[in-house]
């Protein structure tokens, strides 16, 4: 991740940690985030209505990617 993204993530964690009574939950989620961040893989979620064209979009992207 680039520096701007890392700064933004740090600011987000600081804001969350400043919420009274949330420190345990924030610490737990921060640990989960660090595990996810270090996976080194890309995970993509495509969601939408039943007939929104999600499968068609993914198929098209795969065809273009293989070409």
Which sequence spans correspond to the domains of the chain?
3-66
- Per-residue pLDDT of 35-62, as tens digits, reads 988 888 888 889 999 999 999 998 998 8
Number of Cα atoms under 13 Å in the Cβ half of residue 14 = 6
Distance CA 27, CA 18 (A): 12
Q: Is the pLDDT of residue 20 over 90?
A: yes
Distance CA 9, CA 2 (A): 11
Number of Cα atoms under 13 Å in the Cβ half of residue 9 = 11
Q: Is the pLDDT of residue 65 over 80?
A: no
Q: Is the pLDDT of residue 67 over 70?
A: no
**DSSP 3-state of 41:** coil
Looking at every residue in the chain, the average pLDDT score rounds to: 90
């Amino acid at each position: 991740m680039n520096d701007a993204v890392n700064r933004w993530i740090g600011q987000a964690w600081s804001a969350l940690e400043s919420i009274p009574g949330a420190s345990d939950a924030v610490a737990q989620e921060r640990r989960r985030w660090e595990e996810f961040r270090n996976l080194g893989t890309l995970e993509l979620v495509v969601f939408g209505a039943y007939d929104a064209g999600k499968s068609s979009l993914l198929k098209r992207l795969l065809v273009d990617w293989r070409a």
